[in-house]
Amino acid sequence: MRSLIVAVLILGSSPVFAQAPPAPPPEPPPRLEASAQFTFLDTSGNSSSQSLGAGGDVAWRPDPWTYTAKALFAQAEDEGVLSARSFAGLFRASRALNERLSVYGQYDFLRDVFAGVEQRHVVEGGVSYLAVDRAPHRLRLDAGLGYLHEERPDEDLDSATLSLGAGYRLEISPTSEFTYEPRYLLPFSDTGNWKFNQDVALKVALNTFLSLKVSHTLRYSADPPEGFEKTDRILAISIVAKMKRP
């Protein structure tokens, strides 16, 4: 009997029967992260067109704060005639309340004369919830209230707003990722003039510094100025340079 007890104790303490150690926690994102991208497409032959795009973003994370800024410029020419030009910018400051919940303040700017938007300014504040944070998936949900001022060729629009958005990231492999960011904006003074934006991107690393990025941006306005289309799309293939600092 004593021999049986000793054998059980030896087997229970051996590495074979020991429980596997818990998985290490995911590494925190870098404290400073920045990227710049450039796009140029040139078509000649039966038709001639050129597209130019440039942009960049930066994220700074002094815990518990996160500051992000983004800018994107796009221009297209058809037969030497300017056919599209837009500039979009965004600044956001958020503060974590716990591992899942945070509050944020945000300023969003758009200028797209070819879509009937001379200037659009949106200031808002809200809450953000990290709904999924399990590799390879990460999903963030946003809800906020704000104020919209939009200058248009026919009449300006000023209104309090409701904003709903999300940010999804799928890590396909250690060198590639897919992102999707939809956003819905509802002006209270004119609910028929709601707006929807989405950004879809696939990024593949070429080396530790450069990546190839294919992106599609959609901007939809339910009630654009007379003579303008409701939907604008930007498809881009870009080279992205990225820098990280722990």
pLDDT at 10 over 90: no
**φ/ψ (deg, to 5) at 7:** -65, -40
Q: In angstroms, rounded to a whole number, what is the distance separating the alpha carbons of residues 57 and 181?
A: 15
pTM: predicted TM-score of the whole model, two decimal places? 0.83
How does pLDDT run across 50-102, given as a tens digit for each residue?
A: 899 999 999 999 999 999 999 999 999 888 889 889 999 999 999 999 999 99
Q: Where are the domains of the chain?
A: 24-245
Residue 8 has pLDDT above 50, yes or no: no
> What is the C-alpha to C-alpha distance for residues 93 and 98, in angstroms, rounded to an integer?
16
d(CA 83, CA 75): 8
- pLDDT band at residue 26 under the 50/70/90 scheme: low
Q: Is 64 exposed, middle or buried (0-12, 13-18, 19+ CB in 10 A)?
A: exposed
User: Residue 6's pLDDT is what?
Assistant: 42
Rounded mean pLDDT of the chain?
88
Q: Which fold has domain 24-245?
A: Outer membrane phospholipase (ompla); Chain C (2.40.230)
pLDDT tens per residue across span 215-246: 999 999 999 998 999 999 888 999 999 998 88
Q: Residue for token digits 């991107």? A: 201
CB-side exposure of 137: number of CA atoms within 13 Å?
A: 6
Whether 38 and 239 have beta carbons less than 8 Å apart is answered as: yes
Interatomic CA distance for residues 69 and 30, integer angstroms? 16
Query: How much is the pLDDT for 43?
Result: 64
At residue 237, φ and ψ (nearest 5 deg) are: -120, 115
